[in-house]
């Protein structure tokens, strides 16, 4: 897929106020600092479409971007940061949960995981929650440029072993680097192929 256009549409904390048309959408979520903004900018070939976070936990909004005028990329707030209050965490949980439970246009989520960190309970629990709620997702391993190829293979094997303790199969996954552009082609092609399939069905 070539990115011909990528535009910001709307930000809010209320799923009812998200765009009302039926274009397919893909939601990106992960712990703060995982590299989500960098990945979104890399995918869309824009320097500042998503704001890279100087201060983790600052952007507590559901952000919709329209890509090629035919699908939405949704930038969800980062989770798992220490600096926000319990009340803020509850608010966050509520609107994110509402988003995933109610957003019919959501085709798939992408859960971002920093390839340098050992599997984090908060990520594993979140994936389990998605599974329980039958929300399709893929894992995106970020910052792959930080590891050597062999270390990447070992890391994925370890991650897989942990996931297979609770999952029957390893979820679909992508290995990416925003600094090098790794995984861009695969991810965009994946989204493109789903969009094509959806178009053929309609
Ligand atoms: P967000 O909080 O998840 O949106 O994360 P950001 O995109 O703001 O990135 C957090 C930090 O990780 C920043 O210092 C980025 O420069 C760095 N970063 C993000 N992606 C990559 C990557 O692919 N490779 C490397 N080496 N650093 C990255």
Domain edges within the chain: 6-201
Atom of ligand 1 nearest to the CA of 177: 23
Q: What is the pLDDT of residue 197?
A: 95
Is ligand 1 within 6 A of the CB of residue 178?
A: yes
Q: What is the pLDDT of residue 78?
A: 82
Look at the block and give the residue holding tokens 């090098």.
180
Q: What is the pLDDT of residue 57?
A: 46
Q: How far apart are CA 100 and CA 158, in angstroms?
A: 28
Read off the pTM.
0.94
Atom of ligand 1 nearest to the CA of 50: 4
CB distance 162 to 168 below 8 Å: no
Q: Is the pLDDT of residue 81 over 70?
A: no
pLDDT tens-digit map of 120-173: 998 999 999 999 999 999 999 999 999 999 999 999 999 999 999 999 999 999
- Which CATH superfamily is 6-201 part of? P-loop containing nucleotide triphosphate hydrolases (3.40.50.300)
CB distance 94 to 62 below 8 Å: no
Is ligand 1 within 6 A of the CB of residue 35?
A: yes
Alpha carbon nearest to ligand 1 atom 26, residue: 143
Is ligand 1 within 6 A of the CB of residue 145?
A: yes
The rounded Å distance from CA 114 to ligand 1 centre is: 9
Is ligand 1 within 6 A of the CB of residue 60?
A: no
Beta strands in the chain (DSSP E): 6-12, 25-30, 62-67, 71-75, 106-114, 137-142, 173-175
| Of 3-12, 19-28, 89-98, 142-151, minimum mean pLDDT range | 89-98
Pairing of strands 106-114, 62-67: unpaired
109: confidence class by pLDDT, cuts 50, 70, 90: very high
193: confidence class by pLDDT, cuts 50, 70, 90: very high
201: confidence class by pLDDT, cuts 50, 70, 90: confident
- The count of other CB atoms within 10 Å of the CB of residue 74 is 23
pLDDT tens-digit map of 13-47: 889 999 999 999 999 999 989 999 999 999 999 98
CB distance 133 to 100 below 8 Å: yes
Q: What is the DSSP letter of 58?
A: -
How many residues are listed for the chain in this entry? 202
Is ligand 1 within 6 A of the CB of residue 184?
A: no
| Of 48-52, 117-121, 179-183, minimum mean pLDDT range | 48-52
Q: What is the DSSP letter of 172?
A: P
- The count of other CB atoms within 10 Å of the CB of residue 160 is 14
CB distance 62 to 11 below 8 Å: yes
The rounded Å distance from CA 201 to ligand 1 centre is: 37
């Amino acid at each position: 897929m070539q990115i011909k256009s990528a535009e910001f549409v709307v930000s809010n904390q209320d799923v009812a106020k998200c765009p009302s048309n039926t274009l397919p959408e893909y939601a990106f979520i992960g712990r703060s600092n995982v590299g989500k903004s960098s990945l979104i900018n890399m995918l869309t070939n824009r320097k500042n479409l998503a704001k890279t976070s100087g201060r983790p936990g600052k952007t507590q909004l559901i952000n919709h971007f329209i890509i090629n005028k035919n699908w939405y990329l949704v930038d969800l707030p980062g989770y798992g940061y220490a600096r926000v209050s319990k009340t803020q965490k509850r608010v966050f949980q509520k609107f994110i949960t509402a988003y995933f439970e109610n957003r019919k246009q959501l085709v798939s989520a992408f859960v971002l995981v920093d390839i340098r960190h050992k599997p984090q309970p908060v990520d594993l629990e979140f994936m389990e929650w998605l599974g329980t709620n039958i929300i399709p997702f893929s894992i995106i391993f970020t910052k792959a440029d930080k590891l050597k190829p062999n270390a990447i293979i070992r890391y994925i094997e370890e991650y897989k072993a942990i996931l297979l303790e609770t999952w029957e199969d390893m979820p679909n996954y992508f290995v990416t680097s925003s600094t090098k552009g790794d995984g861009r082609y695969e991810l965009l092609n994946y989204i493109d192929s789903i969009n094509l399939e959806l178009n053929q069905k309609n």
